[in-house]
Amino acid sequence: MSRGWWRANRLWLPLVPVALVAMLAAASYHVKTFWFDDGLHRTLVTAKPGHVAAVDIPYEDTAGKTAYRFRVRVDKVTPTTTYLDSLGDRTRVQAGVSAYRVRLGFSADPSVALSGCQLTVVDAAGHQYDVNGLPVSQTLCVPDGHEGPSPALYKGAKRGAVEKGHQRPRTWTTSPVVLVPTGARPVEVRVWFARPDYVSLRLPR
């Protein structure tokens, strides 16, 4: 480049390194915001096959600070040929798809809110499959019809309020079904409420 070009641009050239640093910082911020926070990337508790995970996840609702406190284990994971779809109809598994029933054992104080719990199954290749397609009346981590309390979702709401007859027992099991491609082998169940945090329950190899 000519001496005249350098002379004409001498005022803004020193700002180029500063601009590059700012661009890299912004890119790093977006990676954390849109990649890290939108996936399951932070393990809170890990339980070996057959072991119980003791979970204590702090969060805040409109009534103040509280926590999801419970214990969970994987009892067994077994193949199945049918599952309940989102309308509650029993449906046979289609060709090219395998279904696994995940039996989970839970225990928690009946006053602890556990609504909103989600499950994800991970296969040996690291692919993740969310447990979904359940009837809208069912939940993944609490007994159907006895879900127990919900968090305080609006100002003035009372945390721990339970409709009569819907009290949750201290111990219970759930058995949701996950669909995976044929040949995929589940090796881990992840229990979570809000990404990126999750509880890891390892399965026997």
* First-to-final CA distance of the chain: 64
Contacts of 2 (CB under 8 A, 6+ apart): none
Residue 6: in which H helix or E strand, if any?
helix 3-8
| Inter-residue contact 78 to 105 (CB < 8 Å) | no
Give yes or no: residues 58 and 28 share one domain: no
Question: How large is the average pLDDT for residues 33-52?
Answer: 83
CA distance 79 to 75: 14
CA distance 128 to 201: 14
| 3-class secondary-structure state, position 15 | helix
Query: What does DSSP say about strands 128-130 and 197-202: parallel, antiparallel, or unpaired?
Result: unpaired
Give yes or no: residues 21 and 118 share one domain: no
| Inter-residue contact 117 to 191 (CB < 8 Å) | yes
CA distance 183 to 95: 12
Give yes or no: residues 21 and 55 share one domain: no
Tell whether pTM > 0.75. yes
Tens digits of per-residue pLDDT, 167-189? 999 999 999 899 999 999 999 99
Give yes or no: residues 153 and 82 share one domain: yes
Q: Where does the pLDDT of residue 81 fall: very low under 50, low under 70, confident under 90, or very high at 90 and above?
A: very high
Give yes or no: residues 120 and 150 share one domain: yes
pLDDT value for 173: 95
Give yes or no: residues 54 and 150 share one domain: yes
Give yes or no: residues 89 and 153 share one domain: yes
CA distance 92 to 83: 7
Q: Where does the pLDDT of residue 109 fall: very low under 50, low under 70, confident under 90, or very high at 90 and above?
A: very high
pLDDT value for 110: 94
Domain that holds residue 9: 3-36
Other C-beta atoms closer than 10 Å to the C-beta of 185 total 13
3-state helix, strand, coil in the chain (%, to 5): 15, 40, 45
Tens digits of per-residue pLDDT, 131-162? 764 444 446 899 988 989 988 888 878 787 78
Residue type, 84: L
State the total domains in the chain.
2
Could you give the angle at the alpha carbon of 105 between the alpha carbons of 40 and 157, nearest 5°? 70
CATH label of the domain that carries residue 99: 2.60.40.1240
Give yes or no: residues 66 and 155 share one domain: yes
Give yes or no: residues 32 and 79 share one domain: no
Q: Per mean pLDDT, which range of 64-68, 132-136, 190-194 is the poorest?
A: 132-136
- Most confident listed range (23-32, 125-134, 166-175): 166-175
| Inter-residue contact 108 to 58 (CB < 8 Å) | no
pLDDT value for 125: 95
Give yes or no: residues 101 and 125 share one domain: yes
Q: Residue written as tokens 């719990």?
A: 117
Q: Per mean pLDDT, which range of 13-22, 42-51, 81-90, 121-130 is the poorest?
A: 13-22
pLDDT value for 161: 78
pLDDT value for 137: 40
